[in-house]
Amino acid sequence: MDSNKKYWKGLEELNKTPEFVEKNKHEFAEPIPIEDVLTGGGLAGTTPRRDFLKALGFGVGAVTLAACQKVPVHKSIPYLIKPEEVTPGVANYYVSTYEGSAILVKTREGRPIKIEGNPNDILAKGGLSGQAQASVLDLYDSNRLKNPMRDGSDYGWGQTDGFIKSELAAIKAGGKKIRIVSSTITSPSTLAVIADFITAFPNSKHISYDAVSYTGIIQANQNSFNKAVLPHYNFDKADVIVSFGADFLGTWISPTEFIRQYVQNRNNKSLQAKKMSRHIQFETGMSITGSNADVRILIKPSEEGIALVNLYNALSGTTLPGSKKLANNPNADKAIAIVAKELTAAKGKALVVAGSNDVATQVLVNAINSLLGSYGTTIDLDNPSHQYSGNDAELVEFTKEMSRGEVDAVFFLNANPVYDYYNSKDITEGLKKVRLKVSFADHMDETASACNIVAPNSYYLESWGDDNAIEGYYTIIQPAINPVYDTRQAEHSLMIWGNNPGKDYYTYIRNNWDKNLLAKGGLSGQKGWETLLQTGFVKATPVTSGTYTFGHDLNAVAQTILDHSNLLAADAGKVELQLYQTVAMRDGKRANNPWLQEMPDPVSKVTWDNFAAMSPSDMKKWGYADGDVIKIDANGYTISLPVLVQPGQTQGTISVAVGYGRTLSGPVGDNVGQNAYPFHSLRNGTFQTSAVATITATGNNSPLSQTQTHHSIEGRNSIIKEATFTEYLKNPSTGSGNESGHKDYNENNLFWQEYDHPQYNWVMAIDLNACTGCGACVVACSAENNVPVVGKAEVGRRREMHWIRIDRYYSFNDDGNGGVTRERELSKLEDLDNVRVVYQPMLCQHCDHAPCETVCPVLATVHSSEGLNHMAYNRCVGTRYCANNCPYKVRRFNWFNYWNDSRFENYLQNDHTLLVLNPDVVTRFRGVMEKCSMCIQRIQAGKLKAKIEKRAVKDGDIKVACQQTCPANAIVFGNANDPNSEVSKALKSERTYYVLEELNTQPGVGYQVKVRNISETEA
Amino acid sequence: MRSFSLIFKQFSRSVLLIAGFAFLVSSAYAQGDATKGEALFKANCTTCHKIDIRLVGPALGPTISSETDDKWLTKWIENNQALIAAHDKKATDIYNQYNQSNMTVFAQLSDGDVANIIAYVRADWKTEQAAKPTTPVGPAVETGPSSLVIWALLGVIILAFIIILVLNKVVTTLERLLLKNKDILITEEEIELVTVDRFATVKRLAKNKKFVFFVLLCGTLALGSWTWVTMWTTNVHQGYQPVQPIKFPHDLHAGAMQINCQYCHSGAYKSKNASIPSLNVCMNCHKTVKTESPEIHKIYDALGYDPTTQKYDADKARPIQWIRIHNLPDLVYFNHSQHVVAGKQKCQTCHGPVETMKEVYQYSPLTMKWCIQCHKRTKVDFKDNAYYTQMQAVHDLIKEGKPVTVAQMGGIECGKCHY
């Protein structure tokens, strides 16, 4: 039975706007300008014959000249003295750390070309975020500072050291304050260096703050349990997860780790054990976490606190002062009652999290978790997370100190407050009164340009270092390349300026590990150090996580929350503004990374921009259309942003992403979007992420480059398949179309040639229930396969080159009456709030009956005996027939020579960034088609390795790039000829279905039905 | 016969006795036998020493010649460690001067042997010194054509000028004569008549349609086949033999010296690149072998290596830019280890008889046709390789007694090389 539920990719498709219908009739969104060429005087001109002869003559001449050079001379330059560990053509892997997660750095001939997860990492177990994947490109960023600078001009390291040392001596004598401002530092050795510096200059202090702050949680834990820490959450131990605006699968604290934990209770394995966690999300804007939730309840920022108070009341049976019904949101009220019941039932296996940075709100959340017995099970306060430890109040105090003229020296380490502090004027004005301003930034960023000395820090891939993301887990950072530019590690600089007796930072780390850290993992001495450089981390035995009971009075807390809510409630004619981070850009530190800019946002599918997300009914109310630029005014700050219709956005609110609008990040990131940080405000000592805003139309329209509507699903209903958990328990094959046995579409095959797969049959299984849509695979694929970046304008023309995309489908909640028709759905358009989302990674399906193969006139795309659909670029003449005939729309056409066309600021064109290319994969020329090759270079390498080692290829030997990076392990790749391989087992699951199976394309990629844990009463 | 052999025995014994006595006497006076010394020197010392230049240890010629205390020398050579241990000043000085690297202890050498070596070294150094003034010091420097050649060339050019002038004069005189004599003009007219006749034949032939057709056909065929061949061989550089910056003779190394290809091209075993050896591989041998050759000095220059002090100066180092001979286009992936290790192919299969090449040239056409042909013909050696155990289809073929080629294993599918 096929579902008749309707899915749609964007509102254009749902509404069938005439423009959309017209565009989708054609293969390409914009017609090819043949008319212009034909009418542009070319044929009607007076001397076409002469022009023809000229062109002919030139052509013949050019070809003759080109043919004169007999052999192009290629130089081959060997090493003078080859390092022992380097073999040209063979990759070396080095353990290192990215944001607390152990990683492997793949280097070729000494240059890092890819970041891969360390399978033994205890946080993500080999998964990596898109940001981590993209971080390798920043190493070669040619806009990084190439040497120290003083007042904007080059300055040597010797001069810098002399200048700073003499200044520091004078400042020390003067007795004024020295401040080191940084974002959270998780490295024990860096912290030790800073502590040493403070010992040398006792009037100095280390101030740590985070652009997106978690001070609220830390402060709340201090108030509740006398522990000023960020707890370590265990989503894998929670059966019921309730989140109030915490985007823990996208951006909150440690998303890659949380994805792994979260999916453990929802993936195929868990379902087969008849177990699935339940996740209820209360939120304002549609986040990646909300879109994955079983139930998503819309609340305004002003309602969040009250909803939590109500939840506490329902759980505890008491009534806190100020608790009231949510008058305008009966849905949420109803939901809270149900949620309370479910949470009580799951006591000890429940978890409530909130994204708010408000101390009172977080204290209340602590009280709720204490009621639920979460401490010691789902929340671990004894092995806390160190990932964020910034203190908002300290930074505010620092700005005051500066304005009072008390500060004589300031050092900025990995901090850019001029960009991301809500009141950056305080910083710029204050800095003018500071005598010595030093930034360690590796770019001339907003803060660095306000400093008189910039002492560029080396990139993490060029550095020694260590990290301690969660208590007891110590990881090492080792350089994978010598510094590309004349940079120096900030720690080393601080050691020199602080007259540290340590020789250099490497020795310092060695000593620190020898003395304090190696022993934690049972290692010691030189041998222990060498083991560490192989394994990448040490793990101390974790402390038993204790239970904590909340025992404070909540009346004052509830009153604060109520006041807070009243402040945030917008009057008529205003909207509530919510600030959030996008999965791709996060806090904006990597704004100059083109891979991240071009990675579509998981939910909105917007690239290269931030925008104001608004609910469809509000759009109608305000009379806006997609891309209309509106002026947003809040907290005394105004920006203009295009508005985007976002189904699932709470009515009366808009959401704006921070991390955009950099002005000095480099040519890629500058002036992409608008800076939303100044919308933050300070309340009760912490930064608040919501505000009341006035919006006005500007009359301009600035179209956003979205990838969501680039293909139509043509009303087909065999692309996405869904089931509820209750249905699944009754019949595991519900929704897959195999309820009454698998239908063989190949029965009456007349014209498809059948292929043998005598050795291997490479296939893939993708679990839609595990995939969270985070998009890490998109970046990993770009890095592995040298996929070009095309820029905003080209994405707008539907010419993005990604080999794998995450399709995001919306559907309405089925109201249980069945028989959903288009008319009924359209009637619901008034209220497009209650939508559900399914993510589907879409890549070349490597069909056995490939429609692309049959139409290629030059046999450039052909089938292999291993079940793959090969694409020979050098044979392709660019007819694009294959793309036209592909039902999955996964083929990408090279409209330009992205690697040498000056119209594109492409990373492939730069001599530095070019070094990131994978030498095992060619770059493609203009006019050829390309598509997912199932990482054939990895398949071939895996087979060769087995052949040389004289053994059979083992299952799991070969991992494709998207599979390898997936934190959710949603993608399984392997040999279907081996009945015991993981992929064979996965494909045998009852939930398996093939997209557009009825076309009898016999795809090689199987998907597993999305299951939602919805109780029947809610459905 | 017996008596003869007896006499011979006695005679030889007495000769040996005398020789032995003489040897004892001579050794007592430290007068060694240079010829014996040469053999001993070559067997024991050449690993670390040369007569004329410093190697691991000092240049022995000057050192030993200037050293007068032969007793001390003998002690040093037989057991230098003992001298150093006894804090002998001279010994510790040398020890420190040469980076405190221990010299081997030659306990097996008798005093006589050492004396022979010393004698040889001194004699050899003497002859070398004597020969020195005539031989240039250091590597031969290319000075270009000698001045003699340049003068000879100038002379030839001047001579040619004179000849041209003289001939010009003769021509003008002859022309003047011709103008005076009218008879010659008449003969010219006769010649013209003859040429008219020739054109007539051509015209007659042009009227013959069959002939014209034949000529045109031949022309078209010739041109066509030329075009065909040219197009086929465009960008096929078989036989390409560029001049390399260093005249590296493969025939000497791989041929005469029988050095395994992979000693230098070690990447061929484990990597897709066979790799051109880094210069430290060259230095494994050429630190001591043929150190005087100007070609070897190019290696030294590239490394910034000074053979007299044996020190490397990284600032002077500049890599050698070899010219690539085998250029596969970027669109094809080729892996050496796949062919050399997994496929057990000999280097010569593709690179030809490199061991006979003075300068390497491209032996194979490196066209796709050539690749595919080989993949179609080469039988897979599946013996003793567990990789092939899982492949049922291959087994079936083997059972039927049929050979399995690379192509049957999927070796001619596009994606196997193009990605």
- Any CB–CB contact under 8 A between B389 and chain A? yes
> A510 and A415, same structural domain?
yes
> A234 and A195, same structural domain?
no
Task: With CA atoms as reference, report the closest residue to A253 among A424, A447, A101.
Answer: A101
Contacts of B324 in chain A (CB under 8 A): 73-76
Query: CA A225 to CA B201: how far, in whole Å?
Result: 120
For A89, the closest of B273, B303, B410 (CB atoms) is B273
Element containing residue A971 per DSSP (H, E): strand A971-975
| Three-class SS state of A233 | strand
> B203 and B256, same structural domain?
no
> A876 and A778, same structural domain?
yes
Task: Tell me the shortest Cα–Cα distance from A948 to chain B, in angstroms.
Answer: 5
A905: left (phi over 0), alpha (psi -120 to 50) or beta: beta
Beta strands at A240-244 and A350-354: parallel, antiparallel or unpaired: parallel
Query: CA B357 to CA B74: how far, in whole Å?
Result: 48
| Three-class SS state of A662 | strand
- Any CB–CB contact under 8 A between B127 and chain A? no
Number of domains in chain A: 4
Structure confidence at residue A333 (pLDDT): 83
- Is there a contact between B242 and A73 if contact means CB atoms under 8 Å apart? yes
pLDDT band at B9 (very low <50, low <70, confident <90, very high): low
User: What are the CA-CA distances from residue A993 to residues A745, A769, A834, A841 (Å)?
Assistant: 13, 13, 27, 14
Taking CA atoms, what residue in A is nearest to B245?
A: A75
- pLDDT per position as a tens digit, B328-337: 888 899 999 9
More confident residue, B74 or A6: B74
Residue type, B57: G
- pLDDT per position as a tens digit, B307-322: 888 888 888 888 899 9
> B256 and B349, same structural domain?
yes
- Any CB–CB contact under 8 A between B342 and chain A? yes
Structure confidence at residue A279 (pLDDT): 92
Sign of the dihedral through C-alpha B186, B188, B191, B196 = negative
Structure confidence at residue B183 (pLDDT): 60
Q: A55-69, A354-368, A570-584 — which is least confidently predicted?
A: A55-69
A365-384 burial code (b ≥16 CB/10 A, e <16): bbbbbbbbbbbebbbbbbbb
Domain contains A73: no
State the DSSP string of B10-42. Answer: HHHHHHHHHHHHHHHHHHHTT---HHHHHHHHH
Place of tokens 């976490």: A289
Task: With CA atoms as reference, report the closest residue to B417 among B328, B345, B334, B342.
Answer: B334
pLDDT band at B221 (very low <50, low <70, confident <90, very high): very high
Structure confidence at residue A66 (pLDDT): 67
Residue B2: Cβ within 10 Å count: 6
- Phi (first) and psi of residue B25, to 5 degrees: -60, -50
- Is there a contact between B321 and A72 if contact means CB atoms under 8 Å apart? no
- Domain final residue pick, A347, A363, A385: A385
* Helix axes of A490-497 and A505-512: crossing angle, nearest 10 degrees: 100
Asked if A193 and A495 count as a contact pair (C-beta separation under 8 A), the reply is yes
Q: List the domain range (segments joined by +) for residue A273.
A: 215-385
Measured in residues, chain B has a length of 419
Widest pairwise Cα distance in chain A: 94
Domain contains A656: yes
Q: Which residues pair with A179 in a beta bridge?
A: A205, A410
Mean pLDDT value across residues A692-698: 91
> B105 and B220, same structural domain?
no
CA end-to-end span of chain A:
19
The ipTM value here is 0.83
Q: List the domain range (segments joined by +) for residue B385.
A: 378-419
CATH label of the domain that carries residue B35: 1.10.760.10
Asked if A803 and A781 count as a contact pair (C-beta separation under 8 A), the reply is yes
Q: Where are the alpha helices (DSSP H) in A109-240?
A: 130-139, 157-174, 188-200, 215-225
Task: With CA atoms as reference, report the closest residue to A877 among A896, A858, A855.
Answer: A858
- Is there a contact between B414 and A82 if contact means CB atoms under 8 Å apart? no
> A435 and A313, same structural domain?
no
Domain contains A1019: no
CA end-to-end span of chain B:
86
Structure confidence at residue A729 (pLDDT): 87
Mean pLDDT value across residues A851-867: 91
> A201 and A240, same structural domain?
no
- Is there a contact between B273 and A865 if contact means CB atoms under 8 Å apart? no
Domain contains A69: no
Domain contains A396: yes
| Three-class SS state of A640 | strand
pLDDT of A96 over the 80 cut: yes
More confident residue, B78 or A845: A845
- Is there a contact between A953 and B387 if contact means CB atoms under 8 Å apart? yes
User: What are the CA-CA distances from residue A304 to residues A612, A700, A884 (Å)?
Assistant: 20, 34, 48
A647: left (phi over 0), alpha (psi -120 to 50) or beta: beta
CATH label of the domain that carries residue A497: 3.40.50.740
- pLDDT per position as a tens digit, A351-406: 999 999 999 999 999 999 999 999 989 999 999 999 999 999 999 999 999 999 89
Task: With CA atoms as reference, report the closest residue to A183 among A504, A483, A588, A500.
Answer: A588
- Is there a contact between B342 and A944 if contact means CB atoms under 8 Å apart? yes
Domain contains B239: no
- pLDDT per position as a tens digit, A100-144: 899 999 999 889 999 999 999 999 898 999 999 999 999 998 889
**Residue B190 in tokens:** 């006769």
> A622 and A498, same structural domain?
no
Domain contains B360: yes
Query: CA A288 to CA A283: how far, in whole Å?
Result: 11
Query: CA B119 to CA B38: how far, in whole Å?
Result: 9
| Three-class SS state of A19 | helix
Domain contains A394: yes
- Phi (first) and psi of residue B416, to 5 degrees: -75, -25
pLDDT band at A1019 (very low <50, low <70, confident <90, very high): very low
Structure confidence at residue B1 (pLDDT): 43
B residues 282-311 closer than 8 Å to A (CB): 302-303
Contacts of B413 in chain A (CB under 8 A): 862, 864-865, 870
> B310 and B337, same structural domain?
yes
Domain contains B334: yes
Residue A510: Cβ within 10 Å count: 18
> B112 and B60, same structural domain?
yes
Asked if A181 and A437 count as a contact pair (C-beta separation under 8 A), the reply is no
Asked if A612 and A604 count as a contact pair (C-beta separation under 8 A), the reply is no
Number of domains in chain B: 4
> A304 and A373, same structural domain?
yes
User: What are the CA-CA distances from residue B388 to residues A949, A979, B342, B398, B406 (Å)?
Assistant: 12, 17, 11, 11, 12
- Mean pLDDT (chain A) is 87
Structure confidence at residue A410 (pLDDT): 93
> B359 and B265, same structural domain?
yes
- pLDDT per position as a tens digit, B290-304: 888 889 999 999 998
pLDDT band at A817 (very low <50, low <70, confident <90, very high): very low
> A621 and A586, same structural domain?
yes
Query: CA A184 to CA A357: how far, in whole Å?
Result: 16
Disruptive mutation site among B414, B416, B417 for chain A (greatest number of A CBs within 10 Å):
B414
> A499 and A480, same structural domain?
yes
Task: With CA atoms as reference, report the closest residue to A233 among A251, A256, A254, A212.
Answer: A254
Virtual CA dihedral for A81, A85, A87, A90, nearest 10 degrees?
-150
Mean pLDDT value across residues B198-212: 83
For A947, the closest of B303, B322, B385 (CB atoms) is B385
> A853 and A775, same structural domain?
yes
Asked if A75 and A878 count as a contact pair (C-beta separation under 8 A), the reply is no
Structure confidence at residue B391 (pLDDT): 72
Contacts of B331 in chain A (CB under 8 A): 873-874, 922
Query: CA A345 to CA A373: how far, in whole Å?
Result: 12
More confident residue, A69 or B338: B338
Q: Which residues pair with A116 in a beta bridge?
A: A104
DSSP for residue A892: E
- Domain final residue pick, B134, B161, B177: B134
Contacts of A77 in chain B (CB under 8 A): 319-322
* Helix axes of B111-131 and B70-78: crossing angle, nearest 10 degrees: 110
Task: With CA atoms as reference, report the closest residue to A779 among A967, A589, A928, A588.
Answer: A967
- Domain final residue pick, B201, B233, B265: B233
> B283 and B329, same structural domain?
yes
Query: CA A830 to CA A880: how far, in whole Å?
Result: 40
For A759, the closest of B323, B385, B410 (CB atoms) is B410
* Helix axes of A776-785 and A130-139: crossing angle, nearest 10 degrees: 40
pLDDT of A730 over the 90 cut: no
Asked if A378 and A235 count as a contact pair (C-beta separation under 8 A), the reply is yes
Structure confidence at residue A617 (pLDDT): 86
Domain contains A96: no
Domain contains B304: yes
- Domain final residue pick, A385, A414, A436: A385
Task: With CA atoms as reference, report the closest residue to A371 among A206, A549, A531.
Answer: A549
> B384 and B330, same structural domain?
no
> B367 and B261, same structural domain?
yes
- Is there a contact between A865 and B410 if contact means CB atoms under 8 Å apart? yes
Element containing residue A672 per DSSP (H, E): none
Contacts of A875 in chain B (CB under 8 A): 414, 418
Task: Tell me the shortest Cα–Cα distance from A518 to chain B, in angstroms.
Answer: 35
- Is there a contact between B391 and A940 if contact means CB atoms under 8 Å apart? no
pLDDT of B188 over the 80 cut: no
Mean pLDDT value across residues B197-219: 86
Domain contains A528: yes
Place of tokens 């539920």: A5
pLDDT of B29 over the 60 cut: no
- Any CB–CB contact under 8 A between B385 and chain A? yes
Structure confidence at residue B66 (pLDDT): 79
- pLDDT per position as a tens digit, A733-759: 887 877 777 777 777 777 787 888 888
> A310 and A188, same structural domain?
no
Structure confidence at residue A69 (pLDDT): 58
Task: With CA atoms as reference, report the closest residue to A149 among A444, A580, A363, A369.
Answer: A444
Task: Tell me the shortest Cα–Cα distance from A945 to chain B, in angstroms.
Answer: 9
Structure confidence at residue B138 (pLDDT): 40
**Residue A728 in tokens:** 């699944």
> A920 and A865, same structural domain?
yes
Q: A69-73, A109-113, A694-698, A1000-1004 — which is least confidently predicted?
A: A69-73
Task: With CA atoms as reference, report the closest residue to A241 among A307, A299, A296, A285.
Answer: A296
Let me know the angle formed at the C-alpha of A201 by A199 and A207, rounded to the nearest 5 degrees. Answer: 85
- pLDDT per position as a tens digit, B79-95: 888 888 888 888 888 88
Contacts of A866 in chain B (CB under 8 A): 410
Residue type, B260: N
Measured in residues, chain A has a length of 1019
**Residue A872 in tokens:** 């020979």
Structure confidence at residue A758 (pLDDT): 81
- pLDDT per position as a tens digit, A624-681: 988 899 999 998 899 999 999 888 898 889 999 999 999 998 888 888 999 999 999 9
Structure confidence at residue A1007 (pLDDT): 93
Structure confidence at residue B86 (pLDDT): 80
Task: Tell me the shortest Cα–Cα distance from B383 to chain A, in angstroms.
Answer: 10
- Domain final residue pick, B134, B161, B190: B134
> B258 and B166, same structural domain?
no
Residue type, B324: R
pLDDT of B137 over the 70 cut: no
Structure confidence at residue B7 (pLDDT): 54
CATH label of the domain that carries residue A834: 3.30.70.20
Element containing residue A465 per DSSP (H, E): strand A465-467
Looking at mean pLDDT, say which of A59-63, A548-552, A985-989, B104-108 comes out highest.
Answer: A985-989
Virtual CA dihedral for B326, B330, B331, B337, nearest 10 degrees?
60
DSSP for residue A375: B
Query: CA A661 to CA A655: how far, in whole Å?
Result: 16
